[in-house]
Amino acid sequence: MRVQSLTLAAASAALLAPTAAPAVGVATARTEPVVRREGTVPAADLLARVRDCVPVSRGRYRADEDKSAAIPVCGTKEAVFWKADMDIDCDGRPGSRCNSRTDPLFSDATAYEQSDGRYLSAESLPFIVVPAPSPIWDYRAHGVHGGAVAAVVYEDRVQYAVVGDVGPSGIIGEASYATAKALGIRPDPRGGGTPSGVTYIVFKDSRVKPIEDHQAAVTLGERLAREFVQGEAAKSRKGR
């Protein structure tokens, strides 16, 4: 999980980068993102639905350690959401892109496990990170649990993901390598991510079982996203 700012992460990468060329056959994390579009609910419709914020958090979060606390968690009847940056979570089951060589802050564990008892794979499973419960906000009290479905919106793209890890209690705005890559965000854990422009929408009381079934997350996420958008449209029609 990230506890550094993107600037600090980039500086750390420069200090920690090996002076010799990597061994033949060892993959590096510096790959070009491949944008993958999921579902048919437009990003613009989801963003219109979360244009206004009714805070459900008692305070605000930092995007990174060196930033001021300025990000509230907002809520509707159906979902909670926040607008933040995206830091890259490469934790969990190690692979060619996420391991102790590619990520100086790598941890081989995630807060939630797959159905077979193994930790999640950040490089293959789209998931987001929620802040640990604190006086600021406790996600568990708002219908959010491991495996809850999220729609992550960046520019004109929507990526469905699950809640898969828990991060620092005062920082918000983090998702797995796979989430970033699918959205066209640089997924390198050493200085990748984006400093702003990401909206995280988590649907209350939703859950994907097994948590590692991404297609199930897309199917459920698409249905909940459509209901979320259509509910707002219905309210607008009633108000005319």
Q: pLDDT tens digits for 107-162?
A: 999 999 999 999 999 999 999 999 999 999 999 999 999 999 999 999 999 999 99
Summarised one tens digit per residue, pLDDT across range 70-98 is: 999 999 999 999 999 999 999 999 999 99
**Residue 231 — very low, low, confident or very high, per pLDDT cuts 50/70/90?**
confident
Give yes or no for residue 194 having a pLDDT over 70: yes
pLDDT at 33 over 70: no
Weakest mean pLDDT among 10-24, 33-47, 85-99, 106-120: 10-24
Check residue 91 and give its pLDDT: 98
Tell me the pLDDT band of 5, cut-offs 50, 70 and 90. Answer: very low
Q: What is the pTM of this model?
A: 0.84
Report the pLDDT value the prediction gives residue 39, as an integer from 0 to 100: 83
* Cα end-to-end span (Å), the chain: 47
- Is the predicted pLDDT of residue 21 greater than 50, yes or no? no
